[in-house]
Amino acid sequence: MAIPLLEIKHLTHSYPDGNSGIFDISFSVSKQDFIILAGQNGSGKTTLIRHLNGLLRPSKGEIRLHGKNILKDLTLTRKTIGMVFQDADTQIVGDTVFDEVAFGPENLNLERSLINRKVTQILDQLDLIGLKDRNPATLSGGEKRKLAIAGILAMDPEIIIFDEPFANLDYPGTQSLLTLIFDLNKRGQTIIMATHDVETLLNCASRLLIMADGQLVEDGSIAGLLGKLESHGIKEPCTCKITASPPPWRS
């Protein structure tokens, strides 16, 4: 039997202050999966995805990447599993767009010439090359989100985790970002996306995980779980209520 790309086994996390964490979560992720991790605010989505990147240590259970515990080699874990945070402003540390994308490869101690080549290629791929000397603080919300993704892509991850990527984005920004994420998935990236807005991703995702009160309560296909969304406090896409096949958000 093939080893899954990522395997989460009985993952439990409780915060020291007694705040709710996550309890006994198990699922696996295969290559090129596009997974929506949906749930109400406070359902444990962010806690779970922070474990996937090794930012939090579980109280119980483990996460295996290519069959190996992710905590054994955190640098490899963070290189392989990239994470795009909800607030792009706090993720951006570079003084220019170029520096920001180079930050990850510099941390991996790559050769300067390789870093420059990689960064230029990623900026070109994401249509950010014209902004390479700009201060990231002067970019629009959509551009900042794109930049945060570019910073992750420069580290050649196999899995990219997004935490509420469409929060505070306008319609064109959402469309453009969604098109980019969809293309990345088509090119072989595995995507895990924490969101409470399922409608936007209906035509892209292959699987839906629903969390409630720190537990994984549903795991299945989108079509199969659409009817159960509202029972877990997630808004059912209104397009599903009106039409049989919802129109795509991608441009």
Which contacts of 102-106 are long-range, i.e. CB under 8 A and separated by 24 or more positions?
102/154, 103/151, 104/151, 104/152, 104/154, 104/155, 105/154, 105/155
- Least gap, CB of 141 to another protein (angstroms): 8
Output the smallest distance, CB 149 to another protein, in A: 12
Are 82 and 6 contacting, i.e. CB atoms less than 8 angstroms apart?
Answer: no
Asked if 41 interacts with another protein (CB under 8 A), we say no
How big is the chain by its Cα radius of gyration, in Å?
18
Identity of the residue, 44 or 237, whose beta carbon is nearer to another protein in the bound complex: 44
Least separation in angstroms between CB 234 and another protein: 25
Contact call for residue 106 and another protein (CB under 8 A): yes
Catalogue the E-assigned strands of 196-242: 207-212, 215-220
Task: Specify whether the CB–CB gap between 91 and 84 falls below 8 A.
Answer: yes
Phi, psi of 218 (to 5 degrees): -140, 145
Q: Which two tokens stand for residue 124?
A: 């070109």
Torsion of CA 198, 188, 183, 63, to 10 degrees: 30
What is the pattern of x (binds another protein, CB under 8 A) and - over residues 69-88? -----xx--xx--xx-x-x-
- Binding marks (x or -) toward another protein, 181..220, rule CB under 8 A? ----------------------------------------
Q: Which residue in the set 91, 189, 190, 195 belongs to the binding site for another protein (CB under 8 A)?
A: 91
Q: Which stretch binds another protein (CB under 8 A): 23-31, 95-103, 122-130, 171-179?
A: 95-103
Token pair in block for residue 26 = 């198990």
Q: In the window 131-150, what residues touch another protein (CB under 8 A)?
A: 133-135, 137-140
Name residues whose C-beta falls within 8 Å of residue 147's C-beta, 6 or more positions apart in sequence.
88, 92, 97, 100, 101, 128, 136, 139
* End-to-end Cα separation, the chain, in angstroms: 39
Residues pairing with 69 in the sheet: 64
Return the range that interacts with another protein (CB under 8 A); candidates 100-108, 203-211, 232-240, 241-249. 100-108
* Binding region for another protein (CB under 8 A) out of 61-69, 108-116, 188-196, 211-219: 108-116
CB closer to another protein, 20 vs 116? 116
Nearest residue (CB) to another protein, 19 versus 75: 75
Shortest distance (Å) from residue 173 CB to another protein: 13
Residue 63 CA to residue 29 CA, distance in Å, equals 11
Compute how many residues bind another protein; rule: CB under 8 A: 39
Residues that bind another protein (CB under 8 A): 50, 53, 55, 74-75, 78-79, 82-83, 85, 87, 90-91, 93-96, 99, 103-112, 115, 133-135, 137-140, 151-152, 155
